[in-house]
Amino acid sequence: MRIIQYRKSLGLNQEAFGALFGLKSKGQVSEIERSNRCSAEIALAIEAHSKFVIDAATLNDVVHAARRQAPIEEAA
């Protein structure tokens, strides 16, 4: 699901959706919707809000790269 679809499923306009994540303008939301890209912080917040319907790794390259890393094994 893309950000615009998620926002519309919530019945929110861009301004109200942006306010959920601390975005200052609907222009910022518009840019995220167009590019389907955003900061790691916003990507993770959207993922959590959507209960993982939106995957933060698809919105941000840093999150994507971090999740591709092999898990670190704990010391014995």
CA 8, 35, 54, 48: dihedral to nearest 10 degrees? Answer: -90
Give percent of the chain with pLDDT exceeding 90. 88
Give percent of the chain with pLDDT exceeding 70. 91
Nearest partner of 59 among 70, 47, 48, judged by Cα? 47
pLDDT digits (tens, 9 = 90+) for 30-39: 999 999 999 9
What's residue 69's pLDDT?
A: 87
Compute the mean pLDDT over every residue in the chain, rounded to the nearest whole number.
94
**Residue of 43 and 74 predicted with greater confidence:** 43
Flag whether the pTM goes above 0.85: yes
